[in-house]
Amino acid sequence: MCDSRSFDNRSASAPGHSDASSCAQAGTATSRHSREGLGLGPPHIMTTSPPDPPIPPYARQYEEAYLRAPVGRASIRAEGVVARANYSLADFFGRALAQVEGASVEDLHPDLRAALAESTTESELEVTTPNGTRWLRVHISPLRTDDHHIVGYDLYATDITAVRMAEAELRRREQEFHALIENSNDVITVLEVDGSWRFSSASGVRLLGYPRGYDPPGGIFSLLHPDDVEPARRAFEEVIAGKRGPSDAMVLRVRTADGSRHLHFEVVARNLLDDPAVRGVVVTGRDITERVRAEEALSLQNARFAALVEHTTDVTTVVEDRDGQVVITWASPSIEPVLGYRPDEIVGTDPFALIHPDDAARMVEESANAVRSGTSALVEYRALAKDGSYRLFEAITTDLRNEPSIRGFVTNARDITARRAAERQAEQLTEVLEHSIEVVVLSDAKGEVVWANQRAREFLDLGEHHHVSELSSVESREKLREVVMPFVRRHGVWTGELTLRTTSGDEVPVIATVQGHRERGEIVLVSTIAHDITELKAAQRRLEYEATHDPLTALPNRALLQEAGEQALARAARRGDTTAVLFLDLDHFKAINDTLGHDAGDRVLVELARRLRVGVRDGDLVARFGGDEFCVLCESVENEAEMLALGRRICDVVSIPMKIHGREVQIGTSVGIALDVGGRTSIGALIRNADVALYRSKRSGGSRVTLFDESSMHGAGDGVDVSA
């Protein structure tokens, strides 16, 4: 009989087994071990049992089921020796069944001894077998007699290796996922349904600088750029409402922790409020700041390129070979203002139809040679404009057939029609200047001669490395430095007189125009055009001489006397000197003209002029006042006596006989003298005073010298008679 009380605990320790099956197991075990002398029941049962009854057939079936059960089973004696076990338990420990039965629990696993306790225990064991490591969940329940004495243990073991491996794999995947989240460059944020912050990944710390677990005081939206706040709120509401999904990305600007800048994030959101594991809105943001900047730079570059293409005066075309036919596939907008064609009018046409027939073959050959050699050779040709005229171009062709975005030959052509015309005009102007009779010299800002025409080269003996200062006289060199160039720098151009030095050393007066030519506000070139005025100067001197000298006697005339007198009196005023004017009038000169003729009279005047120049002091000015009247201007006069002596000497010189036309002629002269001390009298007054004194000499009979005084003004005065 089975005492059900002895198996209560065992039944509890073997989930899934009924009391009846437990009793059947116990009965089977008792019958078997009684035969083997290993009884499991209480001692009084095992010692007083009657002879074994016959084993029923169902007990054998149960025995077989016990041995081959998928869970491990064992009966353990009180001293800890395995009395009976099944194949699964033996397999769990990597042993044969015979090695398990009779073995102590310590032999199976060190932790099993501690599991043999007063009550049911459950433990997990890690078992190392030749086939690998297993994890077992072990239930051990004590077997008791009626008096609760423990006579053995019932062991129930399940293999949880697959569970533990699955758990380990799950943990590994969780750790891997966590590492991916933590090390991802994307910022992953979980928001509550009201938009409040719950969690952000570590990349938020790295990228934005906010501390881990930072909950913005103003909410997550306060971190956005002010212009992005409302769009972000509307998008969040659409995510909550199910109107926006992970495929609907948007770009938001997020402020960094130091507030110095905003980073651009491409943001997607997924509503996982119904997911028990999340229950929130997952927002994933990818930092695309560099991409945005690159796109902005690319956009700016494209816009700049488009603007350049739109506004450049160069014409760019792309030519491709399509099915054996060469056609224009693209043309820049600049072709319209240059040649008159709209780009769409020439796309798809033969490019050689636009090239002058005489230039086409040469243009193709030279361009092909440049492409083959990899050089950037300029090719000139004439292109047909829409109005039927031809424009001159220079072009560079580049082979970009291997460039996916082009796949053709690119020609950059520049209209040089105006430049060639200007060059021809410049050549013509240079030719004109080269053969000009004017001296033309170009010099740089430092004064080094860079070009000179033929006249300048021959006239000034110009070669290499000449400085403009070497071409002029000392005075003109100083004038160029102190006057001309400062004026040119201020006003751009100067015109005036300079003196050049020729190859023979002669100094030649010129009228020169000096002009500064500027680039970016700085003078880079100075042009000088000089005209030889030697003859003009001679004529000018001749005219000046004729204007101030008597043509007959070559003596200074009245105008020069007046000018020289003013200057002399000015000097006298500064020095306190005495100045004198001697006024002469020939006596009986009219008789010579009447008897011998005017030619004889002229000869007398010429001879008298010569004698007067010899007879006066050094520095005295002898002038013909008019007719037979002469004046002598004397400076630095010592006293009246000196002038009276000079007057007498003049009378003596004049009275010396002379031969005119074979006849001896003798004439006399009267002299009037006027003095000024300190320049107090004007030259006009001084001459008038001398004339008054002369008049007095004439009235006294002539051939006399009279000194002016105030009484002379009233008809009285002293005179010195020199007639005898």
Q: Which residues of 324-363 are buried (b: 16+ CB within 10 A; e: fewer)?
A: eeebbeebbebbbebbebeeeebeeeebeebbeeebbeeb
Q: Mean pLDDT check: name the lowest of 292-296, 467-471, 671-675.
A: 467-471
User: Mind giving me the DSSP string for 557-618?
Assistant: -HHHHHHHHHHHHHHHHHHT-EEEEEEEEEETHHHHHHHH-HHHHHHHHHHHHHHHHHHS-T
Name the percent of the chain lying above pLDDT 70.
90
Q: In what order do the strands lie in the sheet with 704-707?
A: 621-626, 629-634, 578-587, 668-677, 704-707, 719-721
**What's the rounded mean pLDDT across residues 502-528?**
89
- DSSP-derived 3-state class of residue 397: strand
The counts of H helices and E strands in the chain are: 25, 28
pLDDT band at 716 (very low <50, low <70, confident <90, very high): very low
Least confident of 233-247, 388-402, 467-481, 545-559: 467-481
> pLDDT-based confidence at 574, cuts 50/70/90?
very high
Q: Mapping DSSP to helix (H, G, I), strand (E, B) and coil, where does residue 332 land?
A: coil
Cβ pair 328, 352 in contact under 8 A: no
Residue 160 and residue 135 in contact, taking contact as beta carbons nearer than 8 Å = yes
Q: Are strands 578-587 and 668-677 parallel, antiparallel or unpaired?
A: antiparallel
Examine the pLDDT at 19 and tell me if it is beyond 50: no
What would the mean pLDDT of 505-532 be, rounded to a whole number? 90
Domains in the chain with CATH codes:
4-165 (3.30.450.20), 184-293 (3.30.450.20), 312-420 (3.30.450.20), 435-536 (3.30.450.20), 549-721 (3.30.70.270)
- In this prediction, residue 711 has a pLDDT band, given cuts at 50, 70 and 90, of low
State the Cα–Cα distance between residues 316 and 319, nearest whole angstrom: 10
CA 535 and chain centroid, separation: 58
Give the range among 467-471, 648-652, 668-672 with minimum mean pLDDT.
Answer: 467-471
pLDDT of 376 reads 73
* The pLDDT of residue 264: 92
Q: In this predicted structure, what is the pLDDT of residue 51?
A: 62
Residue 26 has pLDDT above 70, yes or no: no
Grade residue 220 by pLDDT with cuts at 50, 70 and 90: confident
Q: How confident is the model at residue 368 (pLDDT cuts 50, 70, 90)?
A: confident
- What average pLDDT score do residues 397-401 get? 87
Longest CA pairwise span in the chain (Å): 217
pLDDT in tens, 319-340: 998 888 899 999 999 999 999 9
Higher pLDDT, 34 or 281: 281
Amino acid, res. 699: R
What's CA 70's distance to the chain center, in Å? 84
Sequence-ordered list of residues with C-beta below 8 angstroms from that of 366, at least 6 positions apart, any chain: 377, 379
What pLDDT was estimated at residue 217? 81
Q: Looking at residues 593-609, what average pLDDT do you find?
A: 91
Q: What is the pLDDT of residue 351?
A: 92
Q: Which residue has the higher pLDDT, 184 or 657?
A: 657
pLDDT in tens, 78-104: 999 999 999 999 999 999 999 999 999
Q: Is the pLDDT of residue 460 over 90?
A: no
Q: What is the pLDDT of residues 28-69, one digit of tens each?
A: 343 333 333 333 333 333 334 556 667 677 788 888 889 999
pLDDT of residue 464: 66
